[in-house]
Structure 1
Amino acid sequence: MERLTLEEAIVHAKEVAEKNYRGADFESIDSIDDDIKANCIKCAEEHMQLAEWLEELKSYKEAEEQGLLVRLPCKVGDDLYCIVNGEVKKLKVHSFGVPDFEITDIEFKYVDGFKIARFVGEVGKTVFLTREEAEKKLEEMKNDGSKK
């Protein structure tokens, strides 16, 4: 079976909506007609909503393909961890910035103090999503230092 493209899905959803709007365009005689009409209108509205969501998805996919979409590793308010002076420090994500297309800055507040630090780091290398990851990296750093 051939896969449906996003564009074809949008066209199909709009066609189904249009058919259902047309199917609801008649004079009701009784309550059964009212139910049929209401179901047609409901189906049409749901398919129009689906078409809108698919169009929004399509625009995001196009932006991603053009390199215009930035995927952030976390959200404002999340806890992250870094290594400072041989210790794992807990950070709170305060904001994000994109000074150029290669770097995403994450601004943190230290949880144990009031300092706001602008820290440019790489998640998984200098900033970690979990305390366990940061502690593992700290151990690696200590082991590398003791081997020298």
Structure 2
Amino acid sequence: MGYKRDEEQGLLLRLPCKMDENTKVYEIYRFCGEGAWEIEEHYIKFSDLKKIGMTVFLTHEVAEKALAEMED
């Protein structure tokens, strides 16, 4: 009853992935703001959620594709 009500009121947030200590994500970054862009693998943090699809990706393949597009 409470879950359905909360869902109907738009109070639930659907996350794009599991949020546990085993969920890996891939972040595009530039070491010290200079040099080549790199892809770093790390375990997801809440601060990654707002960056998913921009600089944080759920698979390495998608991160590589985004990096190739950035370099073009």
Using structure 1 for the length normalisation, give the TM-score.
0.39
> Which residue of the partner structure matches residue 34 of structure 2?
none
**Divergent runs of 4+, >3 A:** none
Higher relative contact order (CA 8 A, sep 6+): 2
> CA RMSD, aligned part only?
1.8
- In the alignment, does 2:39 pair up with 1:136? no
> Which residue of the partner structure matches residue 24 of structure 1?
none
Runs of 5+ consecutive residues of structure 2 not aligned to the other structure: 31-36
Q: 1:90 to 1:136 in 2, by over 3 A?
A: same
Aligned pairs for 1:52-91 (under 5 A) are 55=1, 59-74=2-17, 75-77=19-21, 78-85=23-30, 86-91=37-42
| Structure whose CA Rg is larger | 1
Q: Sequence identity, in percent? A: 44
- Rounded Cα–Cα distance in structure 1 between residues aligned with 2:68 and 2:15: 27
Q: Which has the higher helix share?
A: 1
Deviation at 1:120, TM superposition (A): 6.0
How many pairs were matched up? 64
